[in-house]
Amino acid sequence: MSTTGTAPAAAQASSPGLTPPTPPRTLATRRRRPALIGLSVALIAAGGLAGAFTVLNSGERTPVLMVTKQVPYGAVVTERDLAVVSIGLDPALNPVAAADKDEIIGKRAATDLMAGSLVTGGAVTDKPLLDENQQLVGLRLKPGQLPSTSLSPGRSVLVVSTPDAAANADADGKKQDEIPKSLPAEVIRVGEPDTSGNLTVDVAVAATDGAVLAARAASGNIALVVEPKKASD
């Protein structure tokens, strides 16, 4: 009886054209694989495009202007002071394009332009070195007549008169405590010190004070006091 009960099942399994049903779990697994492969390919392609875009951008160069030698504050910029270089621009930079070279030549340096630095729009100005109501006076100063800290063009200073002891004494020879006379000025240019350490500083003063300051400077009895920087400096 056992042989008779199993024969139909065996014959049915071996009959041609009959395929056993596929379990639903296996079918679902096979259907998901093509989607995962397609997603992987898409991600790889997107990553490749992003990398290529980055490489292309990093290779872009823009011609801009560079300073070839130091140009002091107030000096006129000439063609020999400039060169064209190609750089990859950074968003934080604002250099002058090489095509605008003619607009820079002939203007004055608004600050000390250092060799190797890029030229920016604020580095030059078309304003005159002195205002209409100012005069330029040269001061020859010895060590001790000015601070040891380096002076920079555009810095506000006070030129203080320092009369000798005899001129600052009364009839009895007693020293008088008087507030020294001073004149406000602006540093225009600082020369190089000589072998004795003496330094020539060009300062701009009001036109009404130019002659007075020149007379005081000729005596040598002056000192330079540096004013604190303003918020706008």
H/E run at residue 190: strand 182-190
222 within 8 A of 145, measured Cβ to Cβ: yes
Asked whether residue 83 carries a pLDDT value surpassing 90, the answer given is yes
Please give the average per-residue pLDDT across 155-162, as a whole number. 92
pTM: 0.56
Show the DSSP H helices in the chain as ranges.
2-14, 24-58, 101-104, 210-219
Nearest C-alpha neighbor of 116 from the set 169, 178, 42, 65 = 65
Question: Using 50, 70 and 90 to split pLDDT, how confident is the model at 56?
Answer: very low
Q: Which residues of 85-107 are buried (b: 16+ CB within 10 A; e: fewer)?
A: eeeeeeeeeebbebeebeebeee
Asked whether residue 188 carries a pLDDT value surpassing 70, the answer given is yes
Could you report the per-residue pLDDT of 89-145, keeping only the tens digit for each? 776 778 899 999 999 999 988 888 999 999 988 889 888 888 889 999 999 999 999
Return d(Cα 96, Cα 82) in angstroms, integer.
11
Could you report the per-residue pLDDT of 196-225, keeping only the tens digit for each? 889 999 999 999 999 999 999 998 899 999
Q: Which residues of 119-155 are buried (b: 16+ CB within 10 A; e: fewer)?
A: bbeebbeeeebeeeebbebebebeeebbeeeebebbb
Could you report the per-residue pLDDT of 113-128, keeping only the tens digit for each? 999 999 988 889 888 8
- What's the mean pLDDT when you consider all of the chain? 78
Lowest mean pLDDT among 33-47, 123-137, 145-159, 191-205: 33-47
Distance spanning both ends of the chain, measured CA to CA: 112
DSSP structure class, residue 46: H
User: Cα 208 to the chain's mean position, in Å?
Assistant: 38
Nearest C-alpha neighbor of 123 from the set 155, 148, 168, 93 = 93
Outline where DSSP puts E strands in 62-113. Answer: 62-67, 82-87, 108-109
Is pLDDT larger for residue 93 or for residue 167?
Answer: 93
